[in-house]
Structure 1
């Protein structure tokens, strides 16, 4: 019987934080990296820079049928998942009533439902020592007007991750919610600003970078950390939101 391949599955791998995780996990001695994102050309370009064998899956994870495709591919692969990184996601800046309903629903599907669905698909293929990284945001710590739906999706992911961290302890699988502040060298901010009619978020003092977030959160996950705030702003935000009532913080963020 052939031994199971040890793999890492990374969503949102075509750019930004997902690509940064792929470069880090390329050093882990795995048999394969499974790179998942919508843009096939970006995935192929990234794979060419990595030494580990890569399997590129150009899938739009906001579409439920593509989760079925991924599940079937994993079932047929005779693999053991050493790392799952859910880095796929997007945001919209601006009043929710000014954003397209379909876009808001797609955000919920990708940021929350797809991340949850993929995690549940992967857990049966994990063993003791496997690691799950759920990329949330420090926006998960409080309700944020003008990031209303985005913050809500990340609050879901944070709560889900924290509970799953406890559920999977007896299996030796660690779950870490990654909650950074703005990451300046990704496409996320530029895309989110497309709906920012009032130019609420233009300057991002304290913004971090993808390499730093990936390195610090992977180290935290290996040590068993449940929630990682990988930069100064997110660390302080977590403390502040634990002290000050959220209704006051929401009012302060209204802009």
Structure 2
């Protein structure tokens, strides 16, 4: 579903990613973890077409996305839930969800997909006509995921989905991630909650100082000395995350 090779991204003179290569197979949940400043969010922004790479290649389902704009990538089957959620607080839950479907024309199916989101996150049904800025942090995260799902993505990018959420809400969010995978959505998660990432993901990449420090099956990484060294042994550069 996703192939990244030798990806380099700079912010001016600051090197954010240096030679990153990773793969996400169709139907997988893959996690990218690492310390602050490692380049995790930059990686997702590059995949989503929000920032441009200095070098390297990104392919979505075999299609080179180097020259594609972010809007075209959404139409091609990619959705991003950014860190901080970035919902439209002055709009209602219903209006935020509708915005997720702006690339679509199949109105009857859009209505059915909204119903699916409301079944997945019942609290959004209760808040359907409320302004989004009245929602709790966890409810806003559910709304952001639901909005992304309305684009019917083949690949869903999640940036720090557990950030700032209570443990019970994190459970709900990750249960939704597993449901999405069962429905055929491929998921790439950036996460600082190592325990959650390793528990949910089939495979995990450790990113440190803009480069892949190690990777493997999530079940094989947890608790190993090599993993601890890769995750904790190299500090981030303090640049853009």
Which TM-score band applies after superposition, normalised by the shorter structure?
Answer: 0.3 to 0.5
Higher relative contact order (CA closer than 8 Å, sequence separation 6+): 2
With normalisation by structure 2, the TM-score equals 0.34
With normalisation by structure 1, the TM-score equals 0.32
More strand by share: 2
More helix by share: 1
